[in-house]
Amino acid sequence: MIRKYRFGVPVETEAVVQDLPCRKEMPESGRVLTDEEGFTYIRALEKETAIYGLGETVRGINKRGWVYVSENEDRSFHLEDARSLYSAHNFLLLSGPEPLGLFFDYPGRISFDAGFTKKDILTVSCDHADLYLYEITGESLKEICRTFRKMTGRSYIAPKWAMGFGQSRWGYKNEEDFRQVVKGYRENHIPLDAVYMDIDYMDAYKDFTVDREKFPDLGNFVSEMKDQKVHLVPIIDAGIKQEEGYDVCMEGLEKGFFCTDREGKPFDTACWPGLTYHPDFLNAKAREWFGNKYRVLMDLGIDGFWNDMNEPSIFFTKRTMEEARKKMREFLAKPAGDTPFFELAGLAGQLSSSEVHKDFYHDMNGTRIRHDRVHNLYGYMMTRAAGEAFERISPDRRILIFSRSSYIGMHRYGGIWQGDNKSWWSHLLLNIQMTASLNMCGFLYTGADLGGFGSDTGRDLLLRWLAFGVFTPLMRNHSAIHTRDQECYQFEDPEDFAHVIGVRYRLLPYLYSEYVKAALNDEMYFRPLAFDYPDDPMACDVEDQLMLGEGLMAAPVYVQNAAGRYVYLPEDMLFVKILPSGEMETQRMEKGVHYIHVELNEVPLFIRKDHFLPLAEAAECVEDLDEDNLTMLGWITKKTEYLLYHDDGYTRNLDVPEHYRLLSMEP
């Protein structure tokens, strides 16, 4: 059941698609205080209550014990004490005999103190008492999640090739760099479906342009890559270069589609291209205009994009730059002895973007509104611009799109990647945990930069990370400029990489089927064990294993030099390792704790008893998968059926009976 409450004059975020009546009385689940100081929701927590949700945030699956702040930010250090990252996912779930879901539809800065300040109190607070609060009750956490997902609309479904493996790196410059990557993969028989183009492909970092020296004919190059069954996926940044004669800039100015400053003039910002303007994605007309721009690249054969810097990430504005320069001058005027070094370091830090949120405005369909009141919608609306345009431009084929920043509601238009992580073992664990929380909020198409974005990865870390990436819908190796080469063929014994990524392709019929069905039925693709086994206290404590679809459990190794790990089986399962030879090593295991050995080139799989996986033969790209010849793998004690979802991989007409095949397996 859903109870909806309105406070003040909320911003219409369109996160919720269901039409629900507002209640007049106060919420039942907690105490609400509203005044000029803002809004506070307070609820007492039982000792045993776990808090789930909050999507893209640091720490564990159970969020209790820390403060999380929704204030989208380009934050390259995902440290344990980070309060905000790139996205705002204001949905919480509380476990217990009467589980509860809470959604705070508020696009400004809002904080969630989950038993941090006071161990048994949940406090949610924001500066303005203008919001919608939804309370959702139900039999179980799973049911509450489903109700929430119905309320917020069907999750985006990527084309099937986008579940293939992708290679990315910030720093690939020209055609030759891309050819080398594809050659490295194909020569070593490591599967590959996509290579990502980072900002260097553009002419002077201008969106929807291509540097002609590096890519004399991008259309041709796209087909050359397609001949090798590889999709090129370019990045699009939020900031538009200020340049006389650059059509996107000129049109935006002429039509008044950029964010404005206090005086109503286009707001000066700066990002990769130097001085920029930021499109006003909160304005429906500006969205339509910007979305149509993607056509420039789609006409060349491009069928996938990633949207970056849309928190928005603003390096500086005219005002912050002038202030910083003034401070710098004052600093330099002081005698050397009086100028402690840390003061100098502090000056550079002041160029951060968070202070500029009060300096600019949107035209939200006729209403002028200051940015800080709607900050967390920016990435959502940028990606909505793209997603809505794709439906117009490409009515028959799904297009790949994922974003860095998001808000709940954006899950209908695209996926997200998990931002600038590091090549740290702790970030592999964070990836596992965050993915579960994102699934609760509707972001099914998601993945982290496998191997880690910043810092130098190790062969072992990359292999272990890939062995988890095998399960995530977005499976992409991405790394930052100036870090060590991170393509799989750069490491010793590339056949180990070929095998691990190969397991992904063997599992794809199942993974794709579970992914699409989860989206169509408002289910989670990944679930914490606590969601499936709420009455099993041990299962509820597990933070490093996930259920995936109806029959599979993932239990990755994420510790350096570990030869294996302890696994908790909440029921009897078949433990499977697919060996490089193609043979299966299987072991029947009873409910309970087990220690498993896992080599660096192995992917441990756990299949629930009386469930099975349909496996394909190995393939080097999605197009080459043979799904007419599937092998069934499982520990079956009775006749068992599985409903396989299988379509052409790109149709938008998804929910039709012909796409379902009933498979069965007998003991």
Choose between 198 and 522: whose C-beta lies nearer to ligand MIG.
198
Residues 6+ apart with CB under 8 A from 225: 178, 182, 195, 231, 232
State how far the Cα of 517 lies from the Cα of 644, in Å rounded to an integer. Answer: 9
Check residue 501 and give left, alpha or beta (phi > 0: left; psi -120 to 50: alpha). alpha
Choose between 193 and 311: whose C-beta lies nearer to ligand MIG.
311
| 195 alpha-carbon distance from chain centroid | 18
Sequential DSSP letters for 435-497: HHHHHHTT--SEE-EET-SBS---HHHHHHHHHHHTTSSSEEE---TTSPP-SGGGSS-HHHH
Choose between 15 and 235: whose C-beta lies nearer to ligand MIG.
235
- Taking the complex as a whole, how short is the minimal distance between the CB of residue 206 and ligand MIG, in angstroms? 14
**Which residue bears the tokens 């919001």?**
131
- Taking the complex as a whole, how short is the minimal distance between the CB of residue 235 and ligand MIG, in angstroms? 6
State how far the Cα of 520 lies from the Cα of 659, in Å rounded to an integer. Answer: 12
- Taking the complex as a whole, how short is the minimal distance between the CB of residue 308 and ligand MIG, in angstroms? 5
- Residue whose Cβ sits closest to ligand MIG: 170
Residues 6+ apart with CB under 8 A from 404: 74, 86, 306, 307, 308, 309, 310, 311, 379, 416, 417, 419
Mapping DSSP to helix (H, G, I), strand (E, B) and coil, where does residue 631 land?
strand
Closest among 185, 159, 168, 184 to 620, alpha carbons compared:
185
- Taking the complex as a whole, how short is the minimal distance between the CB of residue 383 and ligand MIG, in angstroms? 14
Choose between 308 and 523: whose C-beta lies nearer to ligand MIG.
308
Choose between 416 and 524: whose C-beta lies nearer to ligand MIG.
416
Q: Rounded to 5 degrees, what angle do the CA atoms 104, 108, 112 make?
A: 50
| Cα distances (Å, whole numbers) of residue 96 to 223, 352, 535 | 55, 41, 10
Beta pairing partners, 548: 526, 552
Choose between 89 and 478: whose C-beta lies nearer to ligand MIG.
478
- Taking the complex as a whole, how short is the minimal distance between the CB of residue 420 and ligand MIG, in angstroms? 5
**Taking the CB of residue 35, how many other CB atoms lie within 10 A of it?**
8
- Taking the complex as a whole, how short is the minimal distance between the CB of residue 309 and ligand MIG, in angstroms? 6
Length of the chain: 667
Residues 6+ apart with CB under 8 A from 121: 42, 43, 44, 45, 113, 115
Contact footprint for ligand MIG (CB under 6 A): 170, 198-199, 235, 308, 404, 419-420, 478
- Taking the complex as a whole, how short is the minimal distance between the CB of residue 194 and ligand MIG, in angstroms? 14
- Taking the complex as a whole, how short is the minimal distance between the CB of residue 74 and ligand MIG, in angstroms? 7
Choose between 404 and 422: whose C-beta lies nearer to ligand MIG.
404
| Cα distances (Å, whole numbers) of residue 200 to 172, 173, 206 | 7, 6, 10
Phi and psi, residue 457, nearest 5°: -85, 165
Choose between 315 and 525: whose C-beta lies nearer to ligand MIG.
315
Choose between 49 and 168: whose C-beta lies nearer to ligand MIG.
168
- Taking the complex as a whole, how short is the minimal distance between the CB of residue 311 and ligand MIG, in angstroms? 10
- Taking the complex as a whole, how short is the minimal distance between the CB of residue 306 and ligand MIG, in angstroms? 8
- Helix, strand, coil percentages for the chain (3-state, nearest 5): 30, 25, 45
CB 402 within 8 A of CB 386: no
DSSP 618: P
State how far the Cα of 441 lies from the Cα of 480, in Å rounded to an integer. Answer: 28
Choose between 74 and 496: whose C-beta lies nearer to ligand MIG.
74
- Taking the complex as a whole, how short is the minimal distance between the CB of residue 367 and ligand MIG, in angstroms? 31
Choose between 95 and 168: whose C-beta lies nearer to ligand MIG.
168
